[in-house]
Amino acid sequence: MTKRENKNFNNLIPLLKSSNSEAFEESFRELHDNIFNYLFFKIGDSQTAEDLLQDVFVKLWENRYQLKEELSLPAYLYTIAKNLTANYYRHKIVVQNFQKELELRADQENFSSPLFHLELNELKNNFIKALEKLPGQQRTVFMMSRHDNLSHKEIANRLNISIKTVETHIGKALKSLRKALKSGS
């Protein structure tokens, strides 16, 4: 497909709905810079903006069958980007609140008490046991994300799996770990 002079994307919608990969590639080629710039402006971090950009186009592909013919493709992608940005900040707030809660509890705890160290060691042991019980690939993906601090895209590239699969593995791992740590085993 050729570069669009008039930037009219209406004829790409039916092609996307029919799973035309060339139409998807053209959508990406034509719109990824603008969507990336929007995400970078909102987030301020190029790696996070790049990860979210990939998520925008993954969502486009996943939802291609529900696209409406009269849809403005750029507006649709910006809406996805806006929603992903909001989700990113909501998640960031949850993490920050959790960290504040941990800091508050840490300030209230007496770190020199034997009971504190005993509970900390028990928590670490329970975490390690729960981590060891995770299925192989799920554990690998989780460790690459949390221990090695790799982005979802980097993990997907290294393991030759999709970003969505990485997200699924991490979500399932977190759910399993939470459950195991709540039950104490």
Are the CB atoms for 67 and 17 separated by under 8 Å? yes
Class of domain 112-185: mainly alpha
- Residue 37 in tokens: 């710039």
Q: Give residue limits of the domains in the chain.
A: 9-108, 112-185
* pLDDT tens figures, 116-159: 778 878 888 888 888 888 888 888 888 888 878 889 999 999 88
Coil, strand or helix: which one is 136?
A: helix
Type of residue numbered 99: Q
Are the CB atoms for 45 and 91 separated by under 8 Å? no
**pLDDT confidence band for 41 (50 / 70 / 90):** very high
What is the pLDDT, as a whole number, of residue 30? 93
Separation between Cα atoms, residue 166 and residue 155, nearest integer Å: 7
What is the pLDDT, as a whole number, of residue 37? 95
Enter the pTM of the model: 0.54
Are the CB atoms for 123 and 169 separated by under 8 Å? no
What is the pLDDT, as a whole number, of residue 5? 39
Type of residue numbered 55: D
Coil, strand or helix: which one is 18?
A: coil
Tell me the fold of 9-108. Answer: Rna Polymerase Sigma Factor; Chain: A (1.10.1740)
Coil, strand or helix: which one is 11?
A: coil
71 CB-side CA count, 13 A: 20
Residue 3 has pLDDT above 80, yes or no: no
- Residue 30 in tokens: 């034509």
Are the CB atoms for 29 and 55 separated by under 8 Å? no
Separation between Cα atoms, residue 66 and residue 49, nearest integer Å: 25
Coil, strand or helix: which one is 68?
A: coil
Type of residue numbered 44: G
- Residue 143 in tokens: 């460790």
What is the pLDDT, as a whole number, of residue 124? 82
Separation between Cα atoms, residue 45 and residue 40, nearest integer Å: 6
Local structure of residue 134 (DSSP, 8 states): S
